[in-house]
Amino acid sequence: MYGIIHRVVRQMVLDRSDEATWARIAAKAGIDGSAMISIQAYDDALTFRLLRISADCLGLDLTTFLTDLGRYWIRHVGQGATGGILRFTGQDIVTLLANLERMHGSIARVLPETRMPILRLTRDVPGNLLVRYVQGREGFDPFIRGMLLGLLDHFGLQGDVVALSNNDAVEFRVTYNGGEAA
């Protein structure tokens, strides 16, 4: 995976804990500054090791950690220079989710080894959305749920995201601001 995820993990650990905790995680995972280059592709095994050790050091199970990370991911990319990309993708949750695949397609031209999650808006009723996630990497469903929760936070919406497994794909129901249940 690309180094950007390592950077986001580090930032989340620093926000929740301290430098010493991060130093411990980095030492255990066997990483240093050279693993922190956003557009550098690293071995998936390295990233998974980092995720497991980070969850462990923060006292979280992996599912909770990945959910928190997905939520934090949106907060992180919504700031700074990458904030413009998120705004360009959409200035409300429905538009953003509808444009997400197109945005990922553009990014993938620059980062050819990236495997962006494929998310498709299958129901776009405001307040009650269905998002289909075509599984890219096994075990990353909690991260996607976290991202969707992060989008709700980003747009200031109160709501929830529930995963509905459906054969080869996972669907997430995103309800917010009093949206009706399906």
Partner 1 sequence: MKVSLGCASRNTIFPAHILLDHDLRVIDTGRLVARQFPDLVAGSFIHEHFRVTSSGEDVALALLVESGALLELESKDERAGFFGWVLPCESGYFLVLRLGLEDYSLDNSALQISDFAPRDPTVHGLLMFTLQRALLDEQRQVTCELVDAQRKSYELLERFSRISGYLAHDFNNFLSIIRLNCDRLSIELTEQPRLARLVEIITAAAARGSAVTQSLMSLSQQRDETRIPVLIDELIEENWAFFATAVGSRVNIELDLNADGARALVSRVALLNSLINLLINARDAMPDGGKVAIRTRTQDKACEATMPNSVEARPVITIEVIDTGEGMSEEVQAQAFDPLFSTKAHGNGFGLPSVRDFISEMGGCAKIRSTPGVGTSVCLCLPSLDQIETGESPVSAMLSQQPKALAEPEHSHRVLVVEDEPYALEALCELLAGHGFEVTGCTSSAEAMAELENNPYCVLLTDIILPGESGAELARAARKRDPALKVILMSGYVPQGEDLDEDWMFVRKPIDARLVTELLRVATRGTD
- By beta-carbon proximity to partner 1, the closer residue of 39 and 182 is 39
Separation CA 150–CA 130 (nearest Å): 16
| Residue 118 found at the interface with partner 1 (CB under 8 A) | no
Name which of 33 and 59 has its Cβ closer to partner 1: 33
Beta strand pairing call for 118-125 and 128-134:
antiparallel
* Cβ-based nearer residue to partner 1, 32 or 180: 32
Q: Judge contact between 122 and 98, C-beta under 8 A.
A: no
Q: Which is nearer to partner 1, 36 or 60 (CB)?
A: 36
For position 112 contacting partner 1 by CB under 8 A, the verdict is no
Q: Which of 19, 45, 59, 102 binds partner 1 (CB under 8 A)?
A: 102
Using the rule CB under 8 A, is 134 a contact of partner 1? no
Is position 126 an interface residue for partner 1 (rule: CB under 8 A)? Answer: no
20 touches partner 1 (CB under 8 A): no
Q: Which residues pair with 26 in a beta bridge?
A: none
Q: Where are the alpha helices (DSSP H) in the chain?
A: 3-16, 19-29, 44-57, 62-77, 83-89, 93-110, 141-154
CA distance from start to end of the chain: 35
CA-derived radius of gyration, the chain:
16
User: Is 61:141 a contact under the CB 8 Å cutoff?
Assistant: no
Tokens linked to 163? 């995963």
Q: Does 122 bind partner 1 (CB under 8 A)?
A: no
By CB under 8 A, tell whether 5 contacts partner 1: no
Contact pattern from residue 56 through residue 95 relative to partner 1, giving x for each residue in contact according to CB under 8 A and a dash for the rest: ------------------------xxxxxx-xxxxx---x
Measured between alpha carbons, how far is residue 65 from residues 9, 11, 51, 143 in Å? 10, 14, 8, 8
Find the shortest distance in angstroms from Cβ 38 to partner 1.
6
Q: How many residues bind partner 1 (CB under 8 A)?
A: 26
Residues of this chain that interact with partner 1 (CB under 8 A) are 7, 33, 36-39, 80-85, 87-91, 95, 98-99, 102-103, 106-107, 109-110
